[in-house]
Amino acid sequence: MECMESAVSWCSWAFIVGGLAYFFADRRTVGPYGRYVVPGEDVWMVPAQLGWFLQELPAFLVPVVLTVTTETQPGWGKTLLLCTYCLHYFQRTFVYSLLIHSKPMPLRTVRSAMIFCSLCGALQGHQLLHCAQYHDTWLTDIRLTTGLLLFFSGMAVNIHSDHILRGLRKPGETSNYKIPRGGMFEYVSGANFLGEIVEWYGFAIATWSLPAFSFAFFTMCSIGPRAWYHHRFYIEKFSDYPTTRKALIPFIF
């Protein structure tokens, strides 16, 4: 399959513009998810485990389908990077979705996330499989080494933070909020969001491509504001919330 360079470029810039639009929209009104879902506002709701599975699945499945059904040029660099991308979404689809216990999600949120994840999976998969060219020397390139180090460090923070959040509730609880403690939560309220942002910027460095950067940028713009909303929620709800804890960036913001 030939590389559709023009489509890749346009889609990448669309992600960047969309990220900015999402950021400014979310600054005015928080999106309908988790604690911010207004009871009775949405008629159609989806159980949290099913919702997360459905919305994350396309980001994993689309690159796999492209790998199986299209011709690609072999290369250890692109194989390593594609597996790295799929690893994140395998964990989110088949592990995280089974462990989460949260409030039901609006169907419109799940539907929008499925569309986004399908586009993201197609863009990243096509870029790595049909456009990217990595020579054998890329395996020792400082960009790949640094990017993978950031990716797996961010993934570790993300998974550990999710583990801490799940531990705050007893089985069956969905709305008993407590102050998260431990790990990066000692420094920021959105430790899980920080971990995922670091992940994707690490991936962008490792791939050194516009599509990967555009996805990292969109991720930062879409989940960055959530860290601020969570931070504000904790401050308003708990009088003893740690005053030294920031929203997203340790010691800064």
- In the structure, what pLDDT confidence band is assigned to residue 111 with cuts at 50, 70 and 90? very high
Which pLDDT belongs to residue 35?
62
Torsion of CA 153, 189, 177, 56, to 10 degrees: -50
Average pLDDT of every residue of the chain: 90
- 90 or 169: which leads in pLDDT: 90
Residue 40 has a pLDDT of: 61
pLDDT for position 131: 93
Please give the structure tokens belonging to residue 212.
């990967």
Amino acid 176: pLDDT: 74
Q: Is the pLDDT of residue 233 over 60?
A: yes
Is pLDDT above 60 for 123? Answer: yes
CB atoms within 10 A of CB 69: 8
Measured in whole angstroms, how far is the alpha carbon of residue 94 from the centre of its chain?
15
H runs (alpha helix) in the chain: 5-28, 48-69, 76-91, 97-99, 107-126, 142-167, 191-207, 210-237
In the chain, where the domains are located? 5-237
Q: Could you tell me the two tokens for 108?
A: 């419109």
Element (H, E) at 106: strand 105-106
What gap in Å lies between CA 135 and CA 147, rounded to an integer? 17
Quickly tell me which residue has 């994840």 as its tokens: 117
Residue 169 pLDDT more than 90?
no
C-alpha dist (Å) from residue 121 to 1, 63, 242: 16, 6, 39
Mean pLDDT, residues 118-126? 96
Output 249 or 38, whichever has higher pLDDT. 249
Instruction: Choose between 175 and 202: higher pLDDT.
Output: 202
Q: Where would I find the H helices in 70-106?
A: 76-91, 97-99
- Distance in angstroms (rounded) separating the CA atoms of residues 114 and 51: 10
pTM of the model: 0.91
Largest CA distance in the chain: 59
Condensed to tens digits (0 to 9), the pLDDT of residues 55-96 reads: 999 999 999 999 999 988 778 888 999 999 999 999 999 999
Q: Does 201 score more than 60 pLDDT?
A: yes
Angle between helices 210-237 and 5-28 (to 10 degrees): 10
Give the whole-angstrom CA distance, residue 225 versus residue 147.
24
* CA 64 – CA 100 distance, rounded (Å): 25
